[in-house]
Amino acid sequence: MSQPKVVVENLSKTYITKDGTQVEALENITFHVNEQELLCIIGPNGCGKTTLLRLIAGIDTPTRGRILIDNQETKPGRAALIFQEFSLFPWRTVLDNIKFGLEILNVPTQESHKIAQNYVKLVGLEGFEQKFPHELSEGMKQKVAIARALAVNPPVLLLDEPFAFLDAQTRNRMQEELLRIWEQEKKTMIFVSHNVDEAVYLADRILALTARPGKVKTVCEVALRRPRQRTSQPFIRKREEMLKTLIEELDT
């Protein structure tokens, strides 16, 4: 077997707040993600999921431990991060939002335009290129964020509860879309969720974190064929199993 795409080793993160108190967010986390794998991370609110993604994206530094992507220490630009909150540049149109990363990389205008157009198509936003974010639905906004992240062709895509603010129906549709994009782009993805149903629907493997400070509780394989049926027995069984893991954490 080839070496993993992402390796997280003995990772700890302690925040020091303004008044000097220490907040231990993550404690001694170790796991890996394989090439083209879709790993879901679940865990109760405040257990350090966002912190973990920010560390992998290289926009925060760990207190201890290290993160390797393609065997090299991570740094900004190596993993694209899709934020949970509204993260589009409100003054840029859809197309110009998608071009943002390409501009930073100084990709020539014509080429960047072509690339951006391609990703508009990939996420199914043709006809909306010149719209501003406030003119889009919540689901469309996250599609733009995904297109913007993919446009720079990052080795790894990190998604932080990207569908948390969507209604159930839109969320299900976006999950299908994401799987389609994942298969088409052959990306390694880390998808953070606190929704077990979502994790079981999407993941190759699920990593469950404990309550804060986040530690690895379990890692388990989801050996269900895609497209997965939410109403099928194996799906329901897997979901129950994961739910139990999560509930244990909420109780403690």
Partner 1 sequence: MNWFKRYKNSLIQLSAAVVFLILWQLGATVLNLVYFPSLSDTVMAFYQLVVYGDAQGNSLLTHSFISLYRVFAGFSIALVLALALGLLCGVNEAFYSMLKPLIEVIRPIPPLAWVPFASIAFGIAIGGYAFVIFLGAFFPIFLNTVTGVKRTSSILVDVAKTFKADKKDVMFKVIVPSALPEITTGMRIGFGIAWMCIIAAEMIGVKSALGLGFFIFSMANLALYAEMFAGMIMIGLISYVINEGFMLAERQFFKWRVEIAK
Residues making contact with partner 1 (CB under 8 A): 54, 57-59, 76-77, 79-81, 83, 85-87, 89-91, 100-101, 103-105, 132-135, 149, 152
Which residue, 5 or 148, is less far from partner 1 as judged by CB?
A: 148
Determine contact, residues 243/44, Cβ cutoff 8 Å. Answer: no
Count how many Cα atoms sit within 13 Å of the Cα of residue 117 in the half-sphere of its side chain.
6
Q: Could you tell me the smallest distance in angstroms from the CB atom of residue 135 to partner 1?
A: 8
Site for ligand ADP in 96-135 (CB under 6 A): none
Of 47, 146, 199, 208, the one binding ligand ADP (CB under 6 A) is 47
Of 12, 31, 49, 147, the one binding ligand ADP (CB under 6 A) is 49
* 65 near ligand ADP (CB under 6 A): no
Question: Distance (Å, rounded) from C-alpha 49 to C-alpha 154?
Answer: 20
Determine contact, residues 196/220, Cβ cutoff 8 Å. Answer: no
Give burial (CB, 10 Å; 0-12/13-18/19+) of 39: buried
Which residue, 46 or 77, is less far from Mg ion as judged by CB?
A: 46
Question: Distance (Å, rounded) from C-alpha 119 to C-alpha 115?
Answer: 6
The three-state secondary structure class of 9 is strand
* Contact set with ligand ADP (CB under 6 A): 15, 17, 23, 25, 43, 45-51, 212
